[in-house]
Amino acid sequence: MEHFFREQQRLVDSIIPTKRYLYDRIDWSNRCIGILGARGTGKTTLMLQYVKEVYHADGKGMYVSVDSPYFQAHNLFEFAREFHQLGGKAIFLDEIHKYPDWSIHIKSIYDSLPDMKVVFSGSSLLQIAKQKGDLSRRATIYNLHGLSLREYINLIHKKEYPAYSLETIITDHQKIADDLCRDMKILKEFRDYLQTGYYPFFLEGEALYKFKVREVINHILEMDLPFVNRIEPRQISKIKKLLYLLATGVPFVPNIAKLAEATDISRPRLYEYLEKLQDAKLLNLVRSQGRGYEVLTRPEKILLENSNLMYAIAEMVNAGALRELFFVNQVRNAHCIHPQLLESTVELAGSGDFIVNGRYTFEVGGKKKGFKQISGVSDAFVVSDDIESGFKNKIPLWIFGFMY
């Protein structure tokens, strides 16, 4: 135990004090909490911040990463029980998807140690309801996404700019923009964010940032995806090719037959892989209004999950794709705290580009984008890039980065 406490002390001493948006949205009073998210989004830091704030003084909370070699030879439940016998009250388990039958062990901790809190983090690929140990009734699950534009700016400028709901942005975007533009050159901040601002490790320096993003992609594809979904290693090179084609191909309305032929992946398996890449937070799949979340059907639009992925993969970045993926990413992230709420917030519209929450229609484009495509549509708005401030139903694109 002393080794783990020393390691915890070292990690706690090194964490940044700034908290992610999810920290205050988690109900920490729950006995069993799961935090899922893509690699590099800050799950470890979030847990360590809570350990430092609540348990660091009395030693009753312990953080461990279960991909440690120690846990290849030791039983996770027995470890938690030993800590409990020494007075432990909360255990924080990182990289939980790397431990075999992890859900059974967490269920045992929850059921057998009734005064022990267990918080675990894992890959966004995890499907909690499908685990052997039934955690769906025990664990409260949260999604941690990459940084919003707001969080990025707060970190850069050491500010505390607030988040705004979609409805507030629609009604008050001019005032919000005027207030923010007095403090900074927002379009420059926006361009920087699109390239190097989605993952918190940008704080470690921008020189190697794109290389680190590629490392995140490779780790997800080579380690997390096969480990969680039992995908054969020989399929990974095909999935990498698929991701590259999606990142570099314009237009981004998918031709499934051509994608299947180009990657040598069967059509049913291609649909499955697209869903897995969305679960892994590498893609966003958008379907038409009313279709909801239909697995093994063709998504009408495929976008990379965030803009930093596009800059890390593609030699040339398509402006139209970049605008749309930013809009979808930020709006979906803002609405998706719990995994079960993933879809239906952003769908393809009959007129315009996207419809949000089944009500608001948005046409996304450059600064000269007009209202022709959404003429006669109620609750319809143009979302324009390259403008600091909008007017009435014309809203600057960057401002949707202040939703979480």
Q: What is the mean pLDDT of residues 346-357?
A: 94
Q: Are residues 369 and 347 in the same domain?
A: yes
| Domain termination site, one of 113, 144, 175 | 144
Report the DSSP pairing between strands 283-286 and 301-304. antiparallel
User: What CATH number has the domain bearing residue 61?
Assistant: 3.40.50.300
What does the pLDDT read at residue 6?
93
pLDDT of residue 109: 97
Q: What is the mean pLDDT of residues 105-114?
A: 96
Is 25 in the same domain as 137?
yes
Residues 287 and 160 in one domain: yes
Task: Tell me how crowded residue 310 is: count the other CB atoms within 10 A of its CB.
Answer: 24
pLDDT band per the 50, 70, 90 thresholds, residue 292? low
- 3-class SS at 69? coil
Residue 329 has pLDDT above 90, yes or no: yes
- Are the beta carbons of 391 and 382 closer than 8 angstroms? no
Q: Is the dihedral of CA 330, 331, 335, 339 positive or negative?
A: negative
Q: What is the pLDDT of residues 269-281, one digit of tens each?
A: 999 999 999 999 9
The 8-class DSSP code of residue 391 comes to B
The whole-number pLDDT of residue 338 equals 59
- Say how far residue 24 (Cα) sits from the centre of its chain: 17
Q: Are residues 47 and 136 in the same domain?
A: yes
Residues 121 and 185 in one domain: no
**Boundary-marking domain end, from 95, 122, 144:** 144
> Which residue, chain included where needed, has tokens 């909490």?
33
Same domain, 182 and 106: no
Q: Answer for the pair 365, 53: CB distance below 8 angstroms, yes or no.
A: no
pLDDT at 134: 73
Is the domain of 119 the same as that of 153? no
Mean pLDDT, the chain, whole residue set:
92
The rounded distance, in Å, linking the Cα atoms of 254 and 270 is: 12
Q: Quote the CA–CA distance of 45 and 322 in Å, as a whole number.
A: 29
Strand runs labelled E in 116-185: 117-123, 140-144
The full DSSP string for 191-242 is HHHHHH-SSGGGGG-STTHHHHHHHHHHHIIIIIHHHHH---HHHHHHHHHH
First-to-last alpha carbon distance for the chain, in angstroms, is 38
C-beta of residue 146 within 8 angstroms of C-beta of residue 199 = yes
The pLDDT tens digits of the residues spanning 226-247 come to: 988 888 888 999 999 999 999 9
Q: Are 299 and 285 in contact (CB under 8 A)?
A: yes
Range of the domain at 129: 2-144
Specify the number of domains making up the chain: 2
The verdict on 75 and 192 lying in the same domain is no
Is the omega angle on the peptide bond into residue 251 within 30 degrees of 0, that is, cis?
yes
* Residue carrying structure tokens 């030879």: 73
Same domain flag for 326 and 341: yes
Residues 6+ apart with CB under 8 A from 182: none
User: Are 183 and 330 within one domain?
Assistant: yes
Which residues touch 287 (CB under 8 Å, ≥6 apart)?
293, 294, 297, 299, 300, 343, 347, 348
Give yes or no: residues 128 and 276 share one domain: no
Q: For residue 311, is pLDDT > 80?
A: yes
Q: What is the pLDDT of residue 251?
A: 59
| 148-178 per-position pLDDT tens digit | 999 999 999 999 999 999 999 999 999 999 9
pTM to 2 decimal places: 0.93
- Cα 265 from Cα 242, distance rounded (Å): 9
Residue 132: pLDDT over 70: no
CA distance 238 to 244: 10
| CA-closest candidate to residue 396, choices 302, 314, 327, 316 | 327
Query: What is the tens place of the pLDDT at every residue in 42-74?
Result: 999 999 999 999 998 899 999 999 999 999 899
- Give the residue among 61, 135, 55 at the shortest CA–CA distance from 101: 135
Answer with the one of 144, 161, 186 that is the final residue of a domain: 144
Single-letter code of the amino acid located at 25:
R
Decide if pLDDT at 388 tops 90. Answer: yes
Q: How far is CA 7 from the centre of its chain?
A: 27
- In this structure, the answer to whether residues 139 and 186 fall within a common structural domain is no
> Can you tell me the distance from the alpha carbon of 193 to that of 213, in angstroms, rounded to the nearest whole number?
14
* Separation CA 311–CA 195 (nearest Å): 6
CA distance 18 to 27: 19
Rounded CA-CA distance 269/352 in Å is: 31
Give the residue with greater pLDDT, 327 vs 297.
327
Around 89, how many Cα atoms within 13 Å sit in the side-chain half-sphere? 10
Predicted pLDDT at 339: 54
Report yes or no: 225 and 217 within 8 Å, Cβ to Cβ: no
What is the side-by-side order of every strand in the sheet holding 346-348? Answer: 346-348, 354-356, 360-365, 380-384, 394-396
